[in-house]
Amino acid sequence: MIAACLAYIWLIYLGAVAVRDQWLSVIHRSDRCDLSLFQLGLRLLDHFLNEDFPIPVGFVYLTFLIFLSGSEVVTIDAMGCQTKIAH
């Protein structure tokens, strides 16, 4: 059961890597994204295996910055936690 949980978290991490490193245009349609981070991670893993690319196996804490209008910045980490930062 622990192995299944770690595999699930790792695929979500790969989905976050796909978003961060802009693999979406390669593994999914370019006009919109309607897949979860898990599905994106699964597709990225499939693409890496098919193309013999190295597969990221480390769990690095990813953070995304989203700049909103005005002086507000929101950070969203890989687990979905949002933090507002006054800029």
Total-model pTM: 0.65
Q: List the 63-67 sheet strands across, edge first.
A: 63-67, 72-77, 82-86
| Helical spans, DSSP H, in 21-73 | 24-27, 37-51
Convert the pLDDT of each residue in 4-39 to its tens digit. Answer: 988 888 898 888 888 888 888 888 887 777 888 899
